[in-house]
Structure 1
Amino acid sequence: MKHLLTAHTTKGQTVILTRNMSLPELRERRKNETFYCSQCKEKVHLKVGDIVIPHFAHYQQTNCRESFSEGESPTHLLGKAQLHELFLRHETEVKLEPFLPDIRQRPDLLVTWQETHVPIEFQCSVIPLEHVEQRNAGYHMLDMQPIWIIITPSAIRSSSALILSIRLSQFQQFFIRSIHARTGSSVPLLLTYNPSNEQFHYLSHMIHLQGSTYALLHSIMRLRHQSLPFALPAAPAEKDVQELTRHYQEARRKYLRSVIGYNHRGVHNQFLRACYEMRVQPIHLPTWIGVPTKGQEAFKQSDCEWQVLLITAMRETRRTPFQLDRSFYHSFIKKFEGDQEKQIEACVNYADFLRQERIDIYRLDKYASGNYVKEILLRRFLAMHAKN
């Protein structure tokens, strides 16, 4: 059954259910009025309970299916109503659950900012990513750029920590978007919302650790403090970068300590074989191998692993970071799964780092120390917000 917050009366008036409507008032209206779906024109119930937020619902036998992809939970209804109130409070033109006939879609909200229509989708359930892509394609046909807000991950709903290491599912990672800062740089951001305590949780300035785990900056904004357009996360302070560095280095140490003990393939494992050929124990890798250069999230492997293999490929072909070309990178990334263009970009950025630091990849005992991680993160994150 499909749940709605909007409907039409017999006279064609639009009814929008808001939280300031009392339950007795709604029950009285239910007795005296008939309500219809604004899309299919069929009758709908006005459901007024003591637990679930009041809403309209189709009768079970209905043909009004095309513009919805899934049933809506009480959390979704509540979040949608709260976001609607946010835009009204800012006196911004907003439509709740408008039907867009040209693409047969119904976004949760359609907001107009400076004569630009922006669909807002609040996503609480996990749906196939192809469905999300189809919805986005529909909006793009109308020259609209949607904003997706997902439900705050349960692991951080009650957390006030500024720096976290957290696993993000493939579904959650899909909604990470690049927000342009005033400097022209882009900030990776996952915008989430928790209706139960009316808080936005911003997950930004992400560093990929391994697999689906990221270290990131976590900031909280109350619904009543949210601005329009949506506020951007602040630049991390130097102490925040220091804490991100600690998370990254701890994950690096944990990986290097465990790679031998938990791997039964021994030297048949590419990473261990590379370390063996370079005559270095994984735990003794120099600090310039396993650093978070830009784009490293293109690899699901630990930075230590793919960077060791890249160093090995250079040494086998008797090249230096100054002698790499696109054919070399294409040959190297064949052994990895993922977006090849993004992986090449990550490799180029790592080679740039090696050149800038004038590191001799044939001397693992040289430049073995040095806090490259903190230096890289300071350059990457603080530079994003450097201009006034």
Structure 2
Amino acid sequence: MFVAQLKSGQLISILHVSRNRLSVFEKLAPFFCPLCKQELILKKGEQKTPHFAHKTTCLIKPEGETETHLQGKKNLFAWLKRQGVKPQLEAYLPDINQRPDLLFQWNDKRVVIEFQCSVISSQDIYKRTSSYLNHNYYPIWFLYEGLVKKSPFTIQLNSFISQFIFHDQSYPVIISFHPQKEEFITYTNIVPFSKNRAFCLEQIYTMQDPIDMILQPSSQRVNFLPYWVANSEKWLIQQTLFPDARKNKFLQFLYQRKLHPTSLPWEIGIPLPNMYIIETPPVEWQFYIWYFFLYTRKIGAVISKDEIHRFIFHKLNLYIRFRGLPAISMDEKVQPFNNYISFLTSLGFFKDIKDKLIVVKKPEILKQGNVDRTYRKGIFYSKNKEKIMRFFI
């Protein structure tokens, strides 16, 4: 911490205090945490940035502060000052008993930034984010770049990392920061092809770049379909090879109905916007929609769109899981399903009449589905490229 409270209640900061003047501040002791009111000590060693630390663990914000965290807050504060947004460092918010790393006004919003340098529970992030939102603060989490696990065009999207998806805008983004390199890295175009892995585009920015460019990065149109075909195919084949495949609910569901994963048609497992909301892999949740509302229906069957929505949130809750993200509305949750229905409609399976769908064509199971799969799937995606990519415009 750079800010402490004196016995009188006055707040002091040592952010820009030289080491020579720290002895003057020591005479102001004792120091207290503005958040939990426990006593602090002033640390001024040569190896670490001078800071205040709890004598014992903070009861409200228990994770300790590393040198990376201290340096990151210092750099972010300097960056925001250059942006002219008048940031406050470690401002205490008594209405919610929170102390975000930074607070400032931007686009008529009270913005708080939390720079997260260690792995904590997704429940803790969810709780703190929800608390900010419920009290009209606009929370943005910056993730330490060293915690990001990635490969070219892919990011690991586990329950921890997924909490950092900044989704209160048209294009979801994960923002990371590297204090030592003084770089921001944004991950956009996030489209998961499995529970824990997603396609993404990576962009690096410097601390000289404007705030709008980093906090509001634009989505880029890129043809990632060949990459998607290869990785989604790899994922599907792996499911049948895992030692515990017999316990997989999805595979059990298929085998009980005499369906094999490699016999599923290519229109199952399509990349669509906002799928990051759903933890269940796209092949799985799209299969259930395809199966219950197309494969098991007769031509001419009339289906209410409300029926589909009720079925998703009540009947399919044993098979489809959503990520625990705060501030996701019901309309946002249903959007990926609506997009998938729209895609099936564009292929001629449904006729869309206002609030109803009519089945006009039955799907076909793949014959010799294990032969030339990647090649045949690539032909399907090439043929339907525009029908898929239109969702991302």
Shorter chain as denominator, the TM-score bin is: 0.7 to 0.9
Q: Describe how 1:20-169 pairs up with structure 2 within 5 A.
A: 22-23=18-19, 25-29=20-24, 34=29, 36-37=31-32, 39=34, 44-60=40-56, 65=58, 68-113=61-106, 116-155=109-148, 164-169=153-158
CA distance in 2, matches of 1:228, 1:37: 36
Q: Percent identity?
A: 24
* TM-score (norm: length of structure 1): 0.76
CA RMSD of aligned residues (A): 3.7
Aligned to 1:333: 316
- What's the offset of the Cα at 1:316? 2.0
- What's the offset of the Cα at 1:329? 5.3
- Preserved CA contact (<8 Å) 2:114 2:140: yes
* TM-score (norm: length of structure 2): 0.75
CA distance in 2, matches of 1:11, 1:309: 63
2:14 to 8, 12, 17: 17
Which moved further from structure 2: 100-109 or 337-346? 337-346
Partner secondary structure for residue 125 of structure 1: coil
Aligned to 1:287: 266
Partner secondary structure for residue 193 of structure 2: strand
Deviations 1:151-175 (A, max 9, x none): 225455xx8x8x5222222022122
- What's the offset of the Cα at 1:222? 1.5
- What's the offset of the Cα at 1:302? 3.6
> How many aligned residue pairs are there?
357
2:254 to 259, 262, 271: 271
- Preserved CA contact (<8 Å) 2:145 2:177: yes
Gaps of at least 5 residues in structure 1 are 181-185, 384-388
Aligned to 1:346: 336
Q: Describe how 1:286-325 pairs up with structure 2 within 5 A.
A: 286-313=265-292, 314-318=294-298, 323=303, 325=305
2:167 to 170, 173, 178: 178
CA distance in 1, matches of 2:309, 2:9: 63
- Preserved CA contact (<8 Å) 2:141 2:166: no
Aligned to 1:255: 235
Partner secondary structure for residue 49 of structure 2: coil
Which moved further from structure 2: 263-272 or 222-231? 263-272
Gaps of at least 5 residues in structure 2 are 324-329, 350-360, 368-375
Aligned to 1:208: 192
Partner secondary structure for residue 336 of structure 2: helix
Deviations 1:356-384 (A, max 9, x none): 12144334579974326743553233x2x
CA distance in 1, matches of 2:30, 2:300: 73
Aligned to 2:391: 380
- Preserved CA contact (<8 Å) 1:322 1:355: no
- Preserved CA contact (<8 Å) 1:165 1:247: no
1:245 to 222, 225, 238: 225
